[in-house]
Amino acid sequence: MEYYSRGNIKYVNFTSLEREDLLTILDWRNREEVRSMMRSNTIINEKTHFNFVEKLKQSDTSYYWLVTRKDRPCGVVYLQFELDQQRDKAEWGYYLSPSFIGTGVGLEVGFEAIHMFFQEFKLKELRGYVKKQNQQNLQLQHLFGFRQEERVSSDDLIGFVMFEGDYGNLENEFKSFRRKLIRNTK
């Protein structure tokens, strides 16, 4: 999927971005406040970053999007399918531009991404992992309706899962909250 839009939020596939946008994303990813919350917190160089984007062009299991809100770049969302034939299970994650951290935009970005995954990709199961010290994101996962998994992939990561039925409940609950959120962030 090259492009998706709903409300104020737009998702543009990394593979169709200009060099300048990709460099902006690399800058966000390497900033301490973002990098410290990533599964891999090593600094990524330009060559590695652009090689990664080239590999995405050949992939039909991994998607990365630049997210804009009201045409302002604000973050990155990814979806990676599990290696099964049905393509109905995937892992997701996201991060915000440092200038949007703590603004509440992550709630809207996350919800719209979840909507896209279940509505457009027809997922049955969505998983994600959050570092234990990332308290804001942990709260968001619970707010979104993800269930915390018993098993943890490492000492500092907590796994979450959402099933198709959970998403249906979230969609209904979020409608009024979304109206309030949009009204307050205009």
Q: What is the rounded CA–CA span in Å between residue 51 and residue 121? A: 26
Is 3-184 assigned to CATH 3.40.50.720?
no
Handedness of CA 33, 76, 99, 148 (dihedral sign): negative
Structure-model confidence comparison of residues 76 and 108, the more confident one = 76
The predicted structure's pLDDT at residue 142: 87
pLDDT reading at 175 higher than 70:
no
Asked if 162 and 113 touch (Cβ cutoff 8 Å), the reply is: no
The predicted structure's pLDDT at residue 176: 61
Q: What is the rounded CA–CA span in Å between residue 41 and residue 45? A: 13
The predicted structure's pLDDT at residue 85: 66
Q: What is the rounded CA–CA span in Å between residue 130 and residue 158? A: 5
Structure-model confidence comparison of residues 8 and 79, the more confident one = 79
Give tens-digit pLDDT for 137-162: 898 898 888 999 876 666 788 999 99
Q: Which pairs from 139-142 meet CB under 8 Å and 24+ separation?
A: 140/106, 140/107, 140/110
Report the DSSP pairing between strands 147-148 and 157-163.
antiparallel
pLDDT level of residue 79 (50, 70, 90 thresholds): very high
Return the domain boundaries, the chain: 3-184
